[in-house]
Structure 1
Amino acid sequence: MMMNTASKPGPRPEESGILEFLRICDDFYPADAVNAPIQQQRDWYDALCARFDQPLPQGLTFRDEMLFVPVRHYRPAKIGTETVLLYLHGGGFVVGSLDSHHAICAEIAEHAGAELVAVDYRLAPEHLWPAQTDDCFGVLKQLLGQGNRIVLIGDSAGGNLAAGLALRARDEGLPGVVGQVLIYPSLGGDLVSGSYLEMAQAPGLTTADVAYYRAILKAPSDEPVAHPLLAHDLAGLPPAYITVAHFDPLRDDGYLYAQRLKRVGVEVSLREEPQMVHAWLRARHMSQGAREGFHAVCEAIKRLAT
């Protein structure tokens, strides 16, 4: 999610590319965007996404279909693996769609040489938890039922959904989830310590914004699928790649989850982007740090899908 930017005081990166990214975001979002009506938030977000849109890789095709819920299926010109990538978009569970992450999904599919399925799950507040995880899990079960191996991928709220789906698949004994890639994920941290305190006024996302999205989703506070850091046991989960942004209140969620996965023997790689802010995926064509971070994400997906 990209909400509050340079208009709020707080810690800021120094890289020129990411500062220009934040300046552009300021043109689309006021500092108090979360106080606006839901449709206004969605209109602002759609406009922002369109501003950073990119041409699709040559030869890549896509089609929309129904697979429990609406999905978009991407196929690059060259396929190097039979593993399917399942992408769950960010947006605080409030905004975002198949279109908002269209170029991001296409570029990931192209780099990994893999088919990718993006899910158009239902949004809050019209649809409260567990509608979002149920929609995504329904798609996952259909793909697994077709004999596919799956790498789960999600950014921000989508990272939350991906981690929750990995837990659900394990608990239901569903084989075939071979990896999870969590990009600046929201995993249920305490909101009052660590990066939630240090980066409370970070550009792009504030701790108050995180609290807003949790409140609007209305997931039970003790539900581990909604807050994976609360899961009692993380053993038996698929290998994970977790990337966090330094200037992000969600940063420590990724660190804490990686530490817990390692303690129970789950293979996990964690990367911190030192000059990045929340939602840096959109800056991948204008920031050197974001470009390198995106390349690392794509390489990790490619490894997990092999």
Structure 2
Amino acid sequence: MMGVLQRMAQLCRPPLHSLTPQQARAAYAAGAEVLEVPRAELARVEDLQIRARDGAMLPARLYAPVAQAGLPCLLYLHGGGFTIGSIATHDVLCRELARLAGCMVVSLDYRLAPEHRFPTAVHDAWDALQWLAAHGREWGADTTRLAVGGDSAGGTLAAVCALKARDSGLQLSLQLLIYPGTTAHQDTDSHEAFAEGLILDHAAIAWFFDQYIAPDAREDWRFAPLLADDVEAVAPAWVGLAELDPLVDEGIAYADRLRAAGVPVDLEIYRGVTHEFIKMGRAISEARQFHRDAAQALRAAFATE
């Protein structure tokens, strides 16, 4: 991992927080697949659109390893601080999850900040999950076996969607939370320990948050799910964290909160790796191990063993 970081530093690219949001998106997209595993060929890869509550049509992409109907389905919400990232930047990852888990994956292009600030991304994610529950059969999904997941900001959205699903009576098989943000402020020990020098640092997090949400709104549980009134009876969780990540402490805290409420939780902390490691499978074995572990969690939750 340290060798990867050294090579990245040698490129002398400007930090994302020094760019405009549009420039940051382009820079992130340009490097998104450099360290990824090869793109898997799947039986089905189809673009579709999902209608949001305000009438906007949200791009989404469906992945399935086989052509037949009746596959369980994961709604995947990409990371990127609510500001960058897309279906395209997480294409390889979603293909791997579909291939290894034997499930359908629907990846959502929720709307990004600062053009669309909080809570638009929350609304888009929840609208998409409800749409899948209502219309997924038309696309070949088994809507009795649904999961929601995501990395980083997408993990935050997935955790929020799981709580909303609980409140609305929508049964989920799993919430797949990959180094999710769960707190309102950058005040944990890991935020201090890993404030500089790694993939995600203090300046970048502050910049992302400034794009997305006003400071006086950050106590809203839809931004910081650790502040939710209760987390009882939510879907079982699989939580995957990076050891060298500002977000690791809040990921552990959320897993502990779920466990204390009686929610089944599997927690994996990948040692010696940083935020974004799941997209570095060409360079580090921990990314490939994560792919297998996350897929196994989905298989177990969907009872596709």
Alignment TM-score > 0.5, same fold: yes
- Contact kept, 8 Å, 2:16 with 2:204, in 1: the verdict is no
Taking structure 2 as the reference length, the TM-score comes to: 0.88
Bigger drift between 160-169 and 52-61 goes to: 52-61
Letter in 2 for 1:169: A
1:130 aligns with 2:123: no
1:90-116 CA-partner distances (Å, limit 9, x unpaired): 011111111100010001001010111
| Distance in 1 of aligned mates of 2:72 and 2:104 | 7
RMSD in angstroms over aligned alpha carbons? 2.0
Deviations 1:55-109 (A, max 9, x none): 4324432010112211101110377973211100001111111110001000100
Alignment partner of 1:64 is 2:59: no
Letter in 1 for 2:164: R
Show structure 2 runs of 5+ residues with no match. 52-57, 138-142
Aligned CA distance change for structure 1 residues 302 and 28 (closer, same or farther; 3 Å)? farther
After alignment, is 138-147 or 256-265 more displaced? Answer: 138-147
Partner of 2:18: 35
Separation of aligned partners in 1, 2:259 and 2:42: 39
- Give 1:211 shift: 2.2
Q: Residues 18-167 of structure 1: matches in 2 within 5 Å?
A: 18-26=1-9, 30=13, 32-68=15-51, 69-77=58-66, 82-146=71-135, 148=143, 149-167=145-163
Q: Following the alignment from structure 1 to structure 2, what is the Cα–Cα distance between the partners of residues 296 and 227?
A: 26
Unaligned runs of 5+ residues in structure 1 are: 1-17
1:216 and 2:205 correspond:
no
> Cα deviations across residues 108-146 of structure 1 (Å, max 9, x unaligned)?
001010111000110000110111111111111011124
> Quick one: distance in 1 between partners of 2:61 and 2:11?
26
SS in 2 for 1:67: strand
Is the CA contact 2:231–2:261 (under 8 Å) kept in the aligned structure 1?
yes
- Report the more deviating stretch, 93-102 or 215-224: 215-224
Question: Percent identity at matched positions?
Answer: 32
Find the residue that maps to 1:175 and give its secondary structure.
coil
Deviation at 1:22, TM superposition (A): 2.3
Partner residue, 1:304: 301
Give the stretch that moved more between structures: 285-294 or 34-43.
Answer: 285-294
Once residues 60 and 244 of structure 1 are traced to their aligned partners in structure 2, the CA distance between those partners, rounded to angstroms, is 31
Larger relative contact order (C-alpha < 8 A, sep ≥ 6)?
1
How far, CA to CA, are the matches of 1:228 and 1:266 in structure 2?
A: 15
Aligned residue-pair number: 288
Which position in structure 1 is the counterpart of 2:242? 245
Superposition deviation, residue 29 in structure 1: 6.6
Aligned pair 1:283/2:280, yes or no? yes
Contact kept, 8 Å, 2:37 with 2:280, in 1: the verdict is no
Letter aligned with residue 286 of structure 2? G
1:87 touches 1:153 (CA, 8 Å); kept in 2?
yes
Check if 1:197 corresponds to 2:192. Answer: yes
Secondary structure in 2 aligned to 1:73? Answer: strand
Is 72-81 or 271-280 further displaced after alignment? 72-81
Which is further off, 243-252 or 288-297? 288-297
Deviations 1:268-295, CA, capped at 9 Å, x for gaps: 0111111110000111222122222222
Equivalent AA in structure 1 for residue 232 of structure 2: A
State the partner residue of 2:271. Answer: 274
TM-score when normalising by structure 1: 0.88
